[in-house]
C-alpha cells in the first residue's frame, strides 16, 4: 500500500513528468492559454496514460521482455529478448487505443466527447504518454503498478498544465513587454515552476 502511495506521490510531485522530464511540452504550451481546455486535456492525458501504461506493461511483461515468452513457448524462449521493439509496439498500442476510445465515446458518450474529443488526436503525439510507457519499463513495474504509475504521471501532467493555465490567466491582464508575451514568458514560468517542484525532490518514497 505504502509503495503504491509512493508511486502516486512520485508521479504527481517529485518526478512530475512535465516539470522534471519536460515531456509533452508542445501541447502544454499551446493549450495552457485556456483554463477550461487545460482541464479537458489534463483529464484526457490522465485517462490515456493510465490505460496505455497498463496495456503496454502487459505486453511488455508477457511478450517483449527478455525471456518473457516462457509461458507461451516453453524453456526455449528464455533467450528471446524483444525489448528492442518495445518502442514501436508501444506507439502502435497508444495510437490504436486513442483511436478506439475516440470512436467509442463519439458514438456512445457524446457529452464526454464534447469535453475530450478535440484533445484525443493531440494525445497520440503527446510524448508524455509514450514517456510513461518507456519509464515504466526502466522502473520494471508490474502491469498493476504500471497502471497506477500511468495514472499518477497523467495526474501530474494535468496538475502542471492546470497550474500554468491559472497563472497565464493572470498574465493576460498584466502589463508585459512585447518580446515576452505569449510563449517566451510561458517557458520562463515553466522553468520557475519546475524549480519550485524540485523542492519536492528531497522527499524519497
In the bound state with other proteins, the residue whose beta carbon lies nearer, of 83 and 198, is 83
Q: Is 103 in the site for other proteins (CB under 8 A)?
A: yes
Instruction: Say which DSSP state 102 is in.
Output: H
- Provide the grid cell at 111: 457529452
CB of 38 to other proteins, least distance (A): 15
Q: Is 140 in the site for other proteins (CB under 8 A)?
A: no
Q: Is 83 in the site for other proteins (CB under 8 A)?
A: no
In the structure, how many helices (H) and strands (E) does the chain have? 10, 0
Q: Is 89 in the site for other proteins (CB under 8 A)?
A: yes
In the bound state with other proteins, the residue whose beta carbon lies nearer, of 19 and 136, is 136
The answer to whether the beta carbons of residues 51 and 150 sit under 8 Å apart is yes
The answer to whether the beta carbons of residues 129 and 139 sit under 8 Å apart is no
Neighbours of 184 (CB within 10 A): 12
CB of 46 to other proteins, least distance (A): 20
Angle at 108 between CA 144 and CA 59, to 5 degrees: 25
In the bound state with other proteins, the residue whose beta carbon lies nearer, of 87 and 203, is 87
CB of 136 to other proteins, least distance (A): 17
The answer to whether the beta carbons of residues 80 and 177 sit under 8 Å apart is no
Distance set, CA 36 to CA 11, 160, 181 (Å): 23, 14, 21
Q: x/- string (CB under 8 A) for other proteins, residues 18-57?
A: ----------------------------------------
Span near other proteins by CB under 8 A; candidates 80-88, 150-158, 168-176, 178-186: 80-88
Distance set, CA 23 to CA 8, 115, 132, 180 (Å): 18, 23, 10, 23
Number of residues binding to other proteins, judged by CB under 8 A: 27
SS3 80: coil
Q: Is 124 in the site for other proteins (CB under 8 A)?
A: no
**Among 39, 77, 122, 194, which residue interacts with other proteins (rule: CB under 8 A)?**
77
Spatial distance between the Cα atoms of 131 and 23, rounded to a whole number of angstroms: 7
Positions touching other proteins (CB under 8 A) are 59, 63-64, 69, 73, 76-77, 79-80, 82, 85, 88-89, 92-93, 95-96, 99-100, 103-104, 106-107, 110-111, 114-115
Amino acid at each position: 500500500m505504502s509503495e503504491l502511495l509512493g508511486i502516486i506521490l512520485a508521479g504527481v510531485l517529485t518526478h512530475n513528468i512535465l516539470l522534471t522530464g519536460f515531456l509533452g511540452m508542445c501541447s502544454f504550451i499551446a493549450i495552457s492559454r485556456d483554463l477550461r481546455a487545460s482541464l479537458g486535456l489534463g483529464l484526457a492525458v490522465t485517462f490515456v496514460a493510465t490505460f496505455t501504461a497498463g496495456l503496454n506493461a502487459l505486453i511488455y511483461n508477457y511478450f517483449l521482455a527478455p525471456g518473457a515468452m516462457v509461458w507461451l513457448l516453453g524453456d526455449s524462449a528464455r533467450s528471446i529478448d524483444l525489448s528492442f521493439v518495445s518502442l514501436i509496439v508501444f506507439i502502435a498500442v497508444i495510437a490504436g487505443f486513442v483511436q478506439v476510445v475516440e470512436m467509442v465515446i463519439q458514438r456512445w458518450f457524446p457529452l464526454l466527447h464534447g469535453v475530450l474529443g478535440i484533445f484525443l488526436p493531440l494525445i497520440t503525439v503527446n510524448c508524455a504518454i509514450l514517456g510513461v510507457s518507456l519509464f515504466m519499463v526502466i522502473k520494471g513495474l508490474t502491469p498493476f503498478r504500471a497502471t497506477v504509475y500511468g495514472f499518477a504521471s497523467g495526474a501530474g501532467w494535468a496538475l502542471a498544465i492546470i497550474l500554468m493555465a491559472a497563472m497565464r490567466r493572470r498574465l493576460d491582464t498584466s502589463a508585459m513587454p512585447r518580446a515576452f508575451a505569449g510563449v517566451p514568458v510561458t517557458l520562463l514560468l515553466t522553468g520557475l515552476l519546475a524549480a519550485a517542484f524540485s523542492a519536492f525532490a528531497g522527499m524519497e518514497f
